[in-house]
Structure 1
Amino acid sequence: MKIFLTSLLFMFFVVDEVKSQQISGTVSNNGEPLPYANIVIKGTSKGTITDENGNFKLEGLQQKKHVVVASYTGFVSAVKNIELKNENVQIHFDLKENSSLDEVVVTGTLKAVSRMETPVPVEVYKPAFFKKNPTANVFEALQNINGVRPQLNCNICNTGDIHINGLEGPYTMVLIDGMPIVSGLSTVYGLSGIPNSLIERMEVVKGPASSLYGSEAVGGLINIITKTPLYAPKLSVDAFATSWGEYNLDLGYKALLSDKVSYLLGANYFNFNQTIDKNEDNFTDVALQNRISVFQKLDVQRPENRLFSVAMRYYYEDRWGGEMQWTPAYRGGDEIYGESIYTSRWEVLGKYQLPIDAPVVFTFSYTNHHQNSVYGDTPFLADQQIAFGQFTWNKTLSNHDLLFGTALRYNYYDDNTPVTASEENNRPDEVAIPSVFVQDEITFNKAHTLLLGARYDYDKRHGSIFTPRVAYKWSFTENDIFRLNAGTGFRVVNLFTEDHAALTGARDVVITESLEPEQSYNVNLNYLKKIYTENNTFIGIDFSAWYTYFSNMILPDYDTNPNQIIYDNLEGYAVSKGISVNGDVVFSNGIKVNVGATLMDVSQTENGQTTRQILTEQFSGTWGVSYKILLWNLNIDYTGNVYGPMRLPLLSDLDPRPEYSPFWSIQNIQLTYSKLKNFEIYGGVKNLLNWTPNKGAPFIIARADDPFDKNVVFDAQGNAVSTPDNPYALTFDPSYVYGPNQGIRGFLGLRYVLD
């Protein structure tokens, strides 16, 4: 009995010791602790984050070999191999600044690959980049990315789109986790309400990507990568308010539903309910908005690490702008002018790897968008559904990394315009576009890689569409990379779902012919350089030059008739060409600088005459300067952008407004205090120069005092006639817009993270 009790007691202590085995340690950067860094055991669901002093502890580990990974936004992840025997182990990670040049990207080739290794240039932006100038939506957040400009399309309701290298918004495809979520009708509104708390990173490709992504990816694409639930913090809250009366709340919550299922919830609420008219034209300077968005994501761990994730987002927004006296009682009438838009939208997207030996992945998405809007007394009611499914198979043979894919995209669109309706019946636009694509990435050696790709789409309205591409990468040193990309792109246009200017009710829309798909041919040259100096300063330089030629380009003509927007295929060609450079510098004293500049020329040639594209700047620049005062736990961020003149839509030769915008700049400063446990307090000033587009112009909105043209005299051809009451022969028009009407304002916010 004594021997039995002794053995039992010995076994108890052994089991207790095994159960209590742990790995503990610290994570720092140059001696400074990194709070809230992620620590995970690779291949398991075990993980934790560091506390405010950079300490962590992993308990309940088995006696065997473990691979411990430490990661932190903006830093290079570190890995340690640890073997647990009969004692606890303590380790230390010293993470180095990540220049964003070595990160893993997926957008350029549909495969996870190091940014330094991919033949396709991809720019990566992490949440730390966007926190330097906090915004309430993704649309505004893009303002400090070089070569990317959020363009307002309406002075009244303040909707807009994204220009890449000077090309209009419909040429930009926006993806969420690689799925074409934001497109068509939702391009105007869908960029709002994506919870910033869920964004892991944003990948930007400039130039055509139709050979992988099809129509709309002509000018470039933006891929918003959401966080993996397993590695997200348990709870995150980010709330701020501005002196203009804007309120924004971002929530993130993670739950482990089981050992194999992790859940992520994100929500965004934005409210602006102040009628402000600082330019004194009796119209709201900024549209009033009440918006809510809810995002949910599930990740399931499957045998052999096969993928399975599904996400859903619901979005609702009520926005209006107009005369200061407007209330919902005037909605749709011709007494007080207002533009009122109700948007209801939901999305589903996911990935599923088939349970077979071959790595075949099925990705899918579905969106349903309903819009109820009025522009003055003109109603616009629309429904859009987009279903997308795609199979991809990745296969490696010798030095060939092959990717095969097939996709099907279904579009349904119905509105109350003559595009889909007539007096006799309703004719919704329905089309299914099947496609196949193939890609071969050939690695000749460590220095040379060649990528060949092609895509075939069939559209019953236009027939077969073939889009090939080729990319070449030459790494002539570890820190010098040369890339050359060439290819074609195409775009099938439904302009009523893309061009908000066509819906304002201020001009008649004229379509002169059956529109053919646009075709583009592109060449892009990219050079990337990394420099490490003797005093521990890092310098990264990313230079690009591009040339894109368009045939069949479809452009809105504002000039021929001031009362119309005329659409037709260009009888000639259009060209977008330019150069851009991005520079990142991290000094040894902690100062971080990123700066970018773009020079471009976007023009169209028709009947031997070349004109500059409207609302396109020839020069733009962006910058950000950050410095942390360690003694005070205080971060200082100074960000800004500058734009050169762009041609603006005038209504007549008598229009007194400038034909070209001036040089203009938006600059911001922010202070962030991070001493408090789990909290960050931030605040600052936006638009330090108090710049607004009405400066230097007699007015912005034409005939703001007569929005229904009740006092305008027209001739037999429908053109406005100069009268004592209307000396410039103008009609009401809000399309003279190129920058935000919002002047200087303060902001104050609070962030909280718990795990």
Structure 2
Amino acid sequence: MKSYITKIFLGTLFFLSLSLSAQNLSKHQSMVKGNCNMCKERIETTAKKAGAKSAVYSIDTQTLSFETPEKISADEILKKVAEAGHDNDSYKASDDVYKNLPACCHYQRDSESPVPAMNHSDSTKKENEFFVKGNCSSCKARIEKAAKYAGADSAEWSAEKQTVILNFNPSKTSADKILKKIADVGHDNEMYKTTEEVYKKLPGCCLYDRNIPFGDTNPNVHYDESAKKENHSNHIGSEDHSSHSASEKNIEQVNIIGSKAATSIGKKEAGLVFNIDSKELLKAACCNLSESFETNATVDVSFSNAVTGTKQLKMLGLDQKYTSLTKELLPEIRGIASAYGLSLIPGRWIESIQLTKGGSTVTNGYESITGQINTELIKHAEKSETSLNLFADFNGRAEANITHVEPINDHWTQTFLLHGNGTFGDTDMNKDTFLDRPKGTQINAAYLLNFNDLTHSGFGSHFGINFVKDERTSGQIGFDKKIPQAQQNLYGVGIDISRFQVWNKTGYVFKGKPYQSLGWMNQYTYHQQDSFFGLRNYSGNQHTYYSNLIFESIIGNTNHKYKTGASFLYDGYNETYLNNQFKRTETVPGIFAEYTLTGSKYTLVAGARADFHNLAGTQFTPRLNFKYDFTPKTILRLSAGRGFRTANVFAENQQYFASNRSIQILENGGNIYGLKPEIAWNFGASLQQEFKIFGRKSTIIADFFRTDFQNQVVVDLDRSPQLLTFYNLDGKSFANSFQTQWDFSPIKNFDVRLAYKYYDVQAQYLDGKREVPFMAKHRGFINLAYSTNKNSKEGFWSFDTTLNWVGKQRLPNTSNNPSEFQLSKRSESYAVLNAQISRNFNKKLRAYLGGENLTSYYQKNAIVDFRNPFGNYFDGGMVYAPIMKANFYVGFDVTF
């Protein structure tokens, strides 16, 4: 009985203590500023650590509900919440703490109420005009489409005023309904604020400043109503460089991050990505893709041949073939197109370029080793627009470009692109009787058709077709291409190229799931080259079919994203060199998966793919990119990845065909020319730091990349000056690349870019390890760009100049030649200066005048034994510097 009474007594005490404890808890509710789920987690965790027994934060109502015991005051809790970065009823977070919050957590502060007092623009604000935030023409299209979808008869959004003028029937809809729909698609307005999740999924250039009051001019927006090239790209299943929604990533990925800088470094991407706008391409004589990087410090551009005049790109100290070159994220310059493909993409067709250093995403394939260069063609305009560009230099080269972009209706847009060029003059500046560049013509035409209906059906599609005919003749002055080489004494080179492409990219965004999408890309390419180099001939044709299917979704929430899919690549090659025929077919089905983890200060992208190559065997390709934001202005990136490729030894080394070197292939049991595939690992690290100097934004970035070859097809020029030998690597081959770049603006409209690069590139040859030839260890770069007032009604002037300094390079061994035909072991260092002056008379007309290689440095011995081109010692491939002196050009652009 006593035991029973004791249990009742103890139970009563227990429940009484619980009751008393509950009675001692105080309930509180306070206004706390926040934006997203990350804010919610931070606020609730901080409150509980500060002593709250429970804490629940509502993003929608901006309120924190919490309970505290008697000994803890609400004031203490709210003080700790403010110290964590969130303004509230009692305390305001310090500016430093607020600025160090992740970008998605930058809520609107008390001094910037959702509908602040109107400023100067309010006096002209109409009754049916409403403040709506945005940046670019993509924002304009999205806002106006959303308004019409909500019932507006018409809508006109102005980037300059940040307002939309609505015309609607009040009996059918209301301004409230329309503005709510505009907020639903990502644009803050004076009635509604979009959710942080939707805002974060906008494309990069659409991420407007949410903290600037309505009616104020956004200082970060440089919007040109006349600009048709807003740097969009209709990628279907494209690489996700930032926090884009699936609907935007797979249908309309915007590549320029933030303001409309001519070149910018993407701060959101896990990898090191440079976004090059069409404005950057106007700084130089950008006649084709090979000339698009003259003002860029990352890519090295050099002449590879003194007879054919072709240019090649190098990145991270390695040849162009190790960089994945894509167009519209589809395989472009590879295989037989390797030597001359850069000249087949006109510069005036380019809307933007994305340059990725180091391993890129596995969704784009396995061939990228040193990075990826993706080119986007013009395909965006608010209204029908036609542009004409005419260009000519003082040495007989001329070209014309016509681009026409036309919105057909709300969903369809078409683009016509036409290019023609010709080189007609005999240019021989070093007086060696050989043309410094080939003569000939090119006709290039493309048609693009875009469909975008994300709002209703969730579908988007992009179609393209391209045809190129290019004919070139080079060699000694007076050579007649119509007469067979064997019937004339003059040495000649003839190169005829025909190329046809057709492609389609289609994407679908699942209804009610903007984070989930399906994209499918397909492309067919036919490339034919017929050529001769003196008495030796080379011809080849390539049929390529590429298909890539990508599914994208999330795991739980948008902090955990994944992509998975399958690809297929078919390459059919048929090559003839001299009397030898080389035919092969490569089929490569593959599967891949990629996971993206996004935290408050970091982004991790981990992916892997398996490709089942019929000739190279099964290949496993893992890649990893990691970004950590120490602060919003201090960013560390790390990357690692594997890549593999099959070498096309003839097509990729045509610069040595204009010589009398015999080709020797030391077979190693492989299935492609008797050689095994090339396999390499790339590791990289970079540090990006932003700060202010002269009161203006400045950025320094330093990066280091190392490429280690597990296997490589070595191109050996040293065994004998009369031999070109190919064999598989037996030993070590590596490339170390260090670059530091500083971008700053000392005064308004004056941009300065300084860079220094160091390369250490070595390979194990048959007779020992040594430096790879034609690669300078040290390089310097200076680019200066100044413009007068761009807002002037009378137009403005632009001045651009670029200085490239190239250090000494190791040259191939020619010691077995007679002394008069021997080259020194190392080249001279030299500098090349390019400059351009342009005048924009208005938004429709621009004229420009420029000069290339104004230092007039040129390689005097570009061709070994040029007097005897059919002799044993003739060699036109020993080029380490420009072969032309200063060259001047003029041109103009007009828009109709």
Q: How high is the TM-score relative to the length of structure 1?
A: 0.83
Residue 486 (str. 1) matches residue 640 (str. 2): yes
Task: Please give the per-residue CA displacement for 1:541-561, whole angstroms capped at 9, x wherever unaligned.
Answer: 121111111122112111112
Structure 1 counterpart of 2:759, from 589, 600, 610: 600
**Which of these residues, 622, 625, 639, is aligned with residue 802 of structure 2?**
639
Q: Is the 2:359–2:639 Cα contact (8 Å) retained in structure 1?
A: no
Aligned to 1:429: 584
What is the rounded CA distance, in whole Å, between the counterparts of 1:37 and 1:304 in structure 2?
Answer: 19
Shift of 1:482: 0.6
Q: Secondary structure at the match of 1:500?
A: helix
2:423 aligned to 272, 279, 286, which one?
272
Indicate the structure (1 or 2) with the bigger Cα radius of gyration.
2
- Report what 2:520 is aligned to: 362
Give the 3 Å change call, closer, same or farther, for CA 242–608 of structure 1 in structure 2. closer
- Count of aligned pairs between the two proteins: 683
Q: Find the aligned partners of 2:850 and 2:798 in 1 and give their Cα distance.
A: 11
Counterpart pick for 2:313 among 162, 175, 184: 162
Displacement after TM superposition at 1:228 (Å): 3.2
Q: Is the 8 A contact 1:453 1:469 kept in 2?
A: yes
Would you say 1:450 and 2:616 are equivalent positions? no
Instruction: After TM superposition, give the deviation of residue 626 of structure 1 in Å.
Output: 1.3
Deviation at 1:23, TM superposition (A): 6.0
Corresponding position of 1:42: 143
Name structure 2 gaps, 5 residues minimum: 1-125, 149-153, 169-173, 190-203, 224-230, 243-256, 258-265, 668-673
Q: Which residue of 2 aligns with 1:110?
A: 239
* Corresponding residue for residue 827 of structure 2: 661
Aligned residue for 1:148? Answer: 299
After TM superposition, the structure 1 stretch with the greater mean CA deviation from structure 2, 357-366 or 211-220, is 211-220
Structure 2 distance, partners of 1:636, 1:93, is: 27
In 2, the alpha carbon distance for the partners of 1:751 and 1:49 equals 28
Q: In structure 2, give the amino acid aligned to 1:602.
A: V
Q: Find the residue that maps to 1:294 and give its secondary structure.
A: strand
- C-alpha contact (below 8 Å) 2:308/2:655 kept by paired residues: no
Counterpart of 1:744, as a letter, is A
Deviation at 1:213, TM superposition (A): 3.5
How has the CA–CA distance of structure 1 residues 668 and 340 changed in structure 2, closer, same or farther, with 3 Å as cutoff?
A: same
User: Does the C-alpha gap of structure 1 residues 78 and 430 become closer, same or farther in structure 2, counting only changes over 3 Å?
Assistant: closer
> Is contact 1:331-1:340 (8 Å) kept?
no
Distance in 2 between residues matched to 1:232 and 1:530, nearest whole Å = 37
**2:18 equivalent in structure 1:** none
Secondary structure of the 1:545 match is strand
How far apart are the structure 2 equivalents of 1:128 and 1:596? 20
- The DSSP-based 3-state class of the residue aligned with 1:197 is helix
Q: CA deviation at 1:702?
A: 1.5
Aligned counterparts of 2:627 and 2:236: Cα–Cα separation in 1: 16
Q: Distance in 2 between matches of 1:629 and 1:449?
A: 40
CA contact (8 A) 2:323 2:372 kept: yes
Deviation of 1:656 (Å): 3.4
Displacement of 1:199 in angstroms is 1.8
* 1:689 matched residue in structure 2: 855
Name the structure 1 match of 2:684: 524
Name the CA distance, whole Å, in 1 between partners of 2:349 and 2:304. 28
8 Å contact kept, 1:284–1:323: yes
**Displacement of 1:526:** 1.0
Give 1:583's aligned amino acid.
W
Give the deviation of 1:343 after TM superposition: 0.6
Partner Cα separation in structure 2 for residue 705 and residue 380 of structure 1: 24
Q: SS state of the match for residue 280, structure 2?
A: helix
Residue 193 of structure 1, CA deviation: 3.2
Task: Give the AA of the match of 1:707.
Answer: P
* Aligned residue runs from structure 1 range 477-556, under 5 A: 477-501=631-655, 503-504=657-658, 506-513=660-667, 514-533=674-693, 536-556=695-715
Partner residue in 2 for 1:704: 866
Q: Which moved more, 1:263-272 or 1:354-363?
A: 354-363
The residue number in structure 2 matching 1:467 is: 621
Task: State TM-score, norm by structure 2.
Answer: 0.71
Residues of 2 paired with 1:572 and 1:305: CA distance? 53
Distance 2:701 2:644 in 1: 27
Alignment match, 1:674: 840
User: Unaligned stretches of 5+ in structure 1?
Assistant: 1-19, 82-89, 422-426, 713-730
Report the CA distance shift for 1:383/1:50 in structure 2 as closer, same or farther (over 3 A): farther
SS in 1 for 2:294: helix
Q: 2:883 aligns with which of 728, 741, 755?
A: 741
Report the CA distance shift for 1:578/1:232 in structure 2 as closer, same or farther (over 3 A): farther
1:341: which partner in 2? Answer: 495
Q: Deviations along 1:397-437, whole A, 9 cap, x unmatched?
A: 1332101121000001112238972xxxxx63111101111
Q: Which residue of 2 aligns with 1:185?
A: 336
CA distance in 2, matches of 1:432, 1:689: 49
Contact 2:209 2:218 in 1 (8 A): no
- State how far apart, in whole Å, the 1-side matches of 2:281 and 2:463 are: 26
- SS of equivalent residue, structure 1 residue 185: helix
Give yes or no for contact 1:132–1:639 (8 Å, CA) kept in 2. Answer: no
What secondary structure does 1:170 align onto?
helix
Q: Judging changes above 3 Å, is the alpha-carbon distance between structure 1 residues 656 and 262 closer, same or farther for their aligned structure 2 residues?
A: same
Check conservation: 1:38, 1:48, Cα contact below 8 A. Answer: no
- Name the CA distance, whole Å, in 2 between partners of 1:127 and 1:394: 30
Closer, same or farther: CA 231–412 of 1 in aligned 2, 3 Å? farther
Contact 1:410–1:433 (Cα < 8 Å) also in 2:
yes
Larger helix proportion of the pair: 2
| Residue in 1 that maps onto 2:742 | 583
- Quote the Cα distance in structure 1 between the aligned partners of 2:237 and 2:315: 16
Match of 1:400 among 548, 560, 581: 560
Higher mean C-alpha deviation, range 20-29 or range 666-675: 20-29
2:571 to 403, 407, 411: 411
Q: What residue identity is the alignment partner of 2:534? A: G
Q: Which residue of 2 aligns with 1:570?
A: 729
State the Cα deviation string for residues 418-473 of structure 1 (Å, max 9, x = none). 8972xxxxx63111101111111112x21122221111111121211111122221
Match of 1:96 in 2: 220
Q: Contact conserved, 2:366 with 2:621, CA < 8 A, in 1?
A: no
1: CA distance between counterparts of 2:828 and 2:676? 36
Percent identity for Structure 1 against Structure 2:
20
The answer (yes or no) to whether the contact 1:69–1:77 under 8 Å persists in 2 is no
1:281 aligns with 2:423: no
Change (3 A) 1:47 1:130: farther
Distance 2:811 2:404 in 1: 45
